[in-house]
């Protein structure tokens, strides 16, 4: 089957789908609002390197990535810290975001796709409650399927007929409001822990969120201030001033900075409509804790392309099979993590300081937190488990809520994995309400 498909935005999920759909003989046009060379951020972010082979894509050029740097987690009171065990060499990489966009553009063009840079999509064309195409600055164009890869703030979800139950906007605590800035390094100063370039402070200044301060190359420092619920100019200035006092490498010489928003919730319950599917951040298909949005989006894009290559049609009922399958395989785990994340971010600062100082979490435990779902997790020895249980029993104010939230997280996971099999809008609306409630998103 040769379908005519539009991709809105050069998000990685949409671009993975675009390349794979072109390879299986479809016609694909990508509309990107930014000009070529200016798509995405001016920095590097971390991903697992095997995501390209998992998505059956060639590796990106070697000069656009480097070995991921070592990380240190720091307690809110700065008294204790835990180094994150490094993965094998080049298993995790830091990739240049703009070079990654260009890599995808070149793949799509080489596969016969059309990539229109500097052409924002203004709205969807919706006729008889079906998405039929897009309106851009170049005019109207009809398509069999529109893939929305325009990111977390997609305005297109709100243009869909309500009967499809696609969430128009996420609730406020599904978003980490951030400010990312690059400062010059203070001459001759060293990082907090010698040999570890990246430092993440949990619940920095007791606020819901994190701050990081990372050495980049020899003379730049990458700072992120991230908060749930909102981030005022005053919050930014206070947090940076605090980091400037506590992080020896951070000077006052700003190179550039910008506000950002990071998707931090489990997937929206429904991401399909007649002629429409959302992938990546526009469907919140991202791991809501680990910052692995690029990888999750790419895997979702590949799964969508595989579904379409298998002869899928583009009605909501047909696309629902793709959606529920994805929810079962990945979305359910993300829902589990989302519930625990909401709780963890609301924990009192003193409790987190205790977790670090008591030895409840050790360096080797952090190896359990990996984005690689296929990797064998290291085993914690029985003696260490008993020690942890003993420690937890001394802290019922932390332990009992933790148990309660693990149970809630399991219920959310189960709910996510058990969406109605058949496309029945009434049943889906009921399930979507239940799922959002389980997530704590209503």
- Bridge partners of 213, per DSSP, are 199, 223
Q: How far is the CB of 12 from ligand FAD (least distance, A)?
A: 4
The reply to whether 34 sits near ligand FAD by the rule CB under 6 A is: yes
The reply to whether 11 sits near ligand FAD by the rule CB under 6 A is: yes
Distance CA 296, CA 320 (A): 19
Q: How far is the CB of 390 from ligand FAD (least distance, A)?
A: 36
Contact (CB, 8 A) for 287 and 293: yes
Distance CA 269, CA 433 (A): 8
Stretch touching ligand FAD by CB under 6 A, among 27-35, 200-208, 238-246, 380-388: 27-35
Contact (CB, 8 A) for 225 and 211: yes
Number of residues that bind ligand FAD (CB under 6 A): 36
Contacts (CB under 6 A) with ligand FAD, residues 294-353: 294-295, 297
Report the residue from 262, 340, 361, 367 that binds ligand FAD according to the rule CB under 6 A.
Answer: 262
Q: How far is the CB of 180 from ligand FAD (least distance, A)?
A: 5
- CB-based burial, 107-130: b 16+ in 10 Å, e otherwise: bbeeeebebbbebebeebbbeeee
Q: Name the residue number minimizing CB distance to ligand FAD.
A: 293
178 vs 269 by CB, closer to ligand FAD: 178
Distance CA 431, CA 420 (A): 7
The reply to whether 16 sits near ligand FAD by the rule CB under 6 A is: no
The reply to whether 271 sits near ligand FAD by the rule CB under 6 A is: no
The reply to whether 408 sits near ligand FAD by the rule CB under 6 A is: no
Stretch touching ligand FAD by CB under 6 A, among 292-300, 330-338, 350-358, 386-394: 292-300
The reply to whether 214 sits near ligand FAD by the rule CB under 6 A is: no
The reply to whether 257 sits near ligand FAD by the rule CB under 6 A is: no
3-state secondary structure at position 290: coil
291 vs 312 by CB, closer to ligand FAD: 291
Rounded to 5°, the CA angle 278-94-182 comes to 95
Contacts (CB under 6 A) with ligand FAD, residues 35-54: 39-40, 45-47
178 vs 408 by CB, closer to ligand FAD: 178
What the block records as the tokens of 47 is: 């991903």
Report the residue from 16, 244, 286, 370 that binds ligand FAD according to the rule CB under 6 A.
Answer: 286
Q: At what angle do helices 293-309 and 316-326 cross, to 10 degrees?
A: 130
Report the residue from 170, 178, 266, 331 that binds ligand FAD according to the rule CB under 6 A.
Answer: 178
Residues in CB range of 193: below 8 A, 6 or more apart: 72, 81, 83, 199
φ, ψ (nearest 5 deg) of residue 90: 60, 10
CB-CB neighbours of 366 under 10 Å: 16
How is the beta sheet containing 209-216 ordered, strand by strand? 81-83, 71-74, 198-202, 209-216, 220-228, 175-185, 250-263
Q: Kindly write out the interface string for residues 101-140 of this chain, putting x where it contacts ligand FAD by CB under 6 A and - elsewhere.
A: -------------------xx-------------------
250 vs 398 by CB, closer to ligand FAD: 250
150 vs 436 by CB, closer to ligand FAD: 150
φ, ψ (nearest 5 deg) of residue 95: -115, 140
The reply to whether 32 sits near ligand FAD by the rule CB under 6 A is: yes
- CB-based burial, 391-430: b 16+ in 10 Å, e otherwise: bbeeeeebeeebeebeebbeebbebbbebbeebeeeebbe
Q: How far is the CB of 281 from ligand FAD (least distance, A)?
A: 3
**β-bridge pairing 65-67 and 139-142:** unpaired
Distance CA 295, CA 324 (A): 19
Q: How far is the CB of 243 from ligand FAD (least distance, A)?
A: 16
Q: How far is the CB of 100 from ligand FAD (least distance, A)?
A: 9
Binding-site ranges for ligand FAD (CB under 6 A): 8-13, 31-34, 39-40, 45-47, 120-121, 149-151, 178, 180, 224, 260, 262-263, 280-282, 286, 291-295, 297
């Amino acid at each position: 089957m040769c379908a005519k498909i539009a991709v809105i935005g050069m998000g990685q999920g949409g671009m993975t789908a675009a390349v794979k759909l072109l390879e299986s003989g479809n016609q694909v046009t990508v509309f990107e609002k930014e000009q070529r060379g200016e798509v995405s951020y001016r920095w590097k972010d971390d991903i697992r390197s095997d995501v390209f082979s998992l998505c059956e894509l060639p590796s990106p050029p070697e000069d656009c990535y480097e070995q991921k740097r070592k990380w240190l987690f720091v307690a809110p009171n700065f008294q204790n810290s835990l180094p994150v065990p490094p993965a094998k060499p080049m298993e995790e990489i830091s990739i240049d975001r703009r070079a990654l966009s260009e890599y995808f553009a070149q793949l799509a063009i080489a596969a016969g796709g059309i990539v229109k840079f500097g052409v924002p999509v203004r709205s969807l064309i919706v006729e008889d409650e079906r998405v039929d195409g897009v309106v851009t600055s170049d005019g109207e164009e009809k398509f069999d399927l529109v893939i929305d890869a325009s990111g977390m703030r997609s305005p297109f979800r709100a243009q869909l007929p309500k009967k499809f139950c696609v969430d128009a906007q996420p609730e406020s605590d599904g978003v980490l409001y951030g400010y990312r800035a690059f400062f010059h390094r203070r001459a001759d100063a060293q990082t907090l822990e010698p040999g570890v370039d990246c430092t993440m402070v949990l619940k920095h200044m007791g606020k819901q969120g994190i701050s990081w301060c990372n050495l980049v190359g020899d003379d730049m420092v990458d700072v992120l201030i991230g908060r749930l619920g909102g981030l005022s100019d005053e919050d930014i200035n206070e947090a940076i001033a605090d980091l400037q006092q506590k992080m020896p490498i951070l000077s006052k010489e700003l190179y550039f900075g910008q506000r950002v928003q990071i998707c931090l919730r489990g997937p929206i319950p429904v991401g399909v409509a007649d002629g429409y599917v959302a992938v990546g951040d526009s469907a919140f298909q991202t791991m809501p804790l680990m910052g692995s949005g690029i990888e999750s989006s790419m895997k979702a894009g590949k799964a969508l392309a595989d579904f379409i290559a298998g002869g899928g049609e583009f009605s909501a009922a047909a696309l629902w099979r793709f959606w529920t399958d994805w929810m079962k395989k990945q979305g359910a785990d993300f829902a589990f993590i989302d519930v625990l994340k909401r709780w963890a971010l609301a924990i009192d600062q003193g409790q987190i300081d205790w977790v670090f100082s008591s030895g409840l979490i050790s360096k080797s435990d952090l190896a359990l937190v990996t984005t690689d779902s296929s990797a064998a997790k290291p085993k914690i020895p029985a003696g260490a488990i008993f020690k942890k249980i003993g420690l937890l029993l001394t802290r019922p104010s932390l332990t009992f809520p933790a148990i309660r939230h693990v149970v809630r997280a399991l219920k959310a996971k189960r709910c996510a994995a058990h969406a109605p099999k058949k496309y029945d809008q009434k049943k889906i609306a009921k399930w979507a309400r239940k799922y959002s409630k389980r997530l704590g998103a209503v």
